[in-house]
Amino acid sequence: MKILLDTHVFLWAITDSPKLSVQQRDLFLDEANEVHMSVASLWEMLIKAGLGKLPLPEPAIEYLVRQMDQNRILLLPIRIAHLAELQKLPPLHRDPFDRMLVAQAKAEKMRMLSVDVRMRDYGVEVI
């Protein structure tokens, strides 16, 4: 299964947070799944770290990339097909990072690991 991680799910997974559901954790750890994180999520975390809203144990990009490598997470770049999907989305969700994740999930036919149920309003399967 191809899975796109929402930013908060990535952070919960790498910190072993109890906020992550058992099902989400199992899907994240299952090596049969292809787990992706959007470059938009990295961008969002770098912004939050720079503003002091996301404390990390070391410089942000080094820490986040190492966590991706250690957890076999593939980086999903932003492609023209994603932007084409983004422009079709109705204004149901105001967060631009989440809107990009939805567009990417739709364009790539991925399921999303997220607790944001509003993403379902866009026709994306949210686990």
- How does residue 124 score in pLDDT terms, banded at 50, 70 and 90? very high
Residue bearing tokens 């686990």 = 127
Q: What is the mean pLDDT of residues 17-40?
A: 96
- Does 117 score more than 90 pLDDT? no
pLDDT at residue 98 tops 90: yes
The candidate with the shortest Cα–Cα distance to 28, out of 20, 38, 18, is: 20
CATH number of 2-122: 3.40.50.1010
Task: Give the pLDDT confidence of 38-96 residue by residue, as tens digits.
Answer: 999 999 999 999 999 999 999 999 999 999 999 999 999 999 999 999 999 998 888 99
- Cβ proximity of 81 and 106 under 8 Å: no
Query: What pLDDT does 94 receive?
Result: 86
pLDDT score at 60: 95
The ranges assigned to domains in the chain are 2-122
- What is the reported pLDDT for 103? 98
Amino acid at 15: T
Q: Answer yes or no: is pLDDT of 110 > 90.
A: yes
Do residues 49 and 62 touch, judged by C-beta distance below 8 A?
A: no
Q: Is the pTM of this model over 0.85?
A: yes
Q: Are 6 and 116 within 8 A, CB to CB?
A: yes
Average pLDDT, the chain: 96
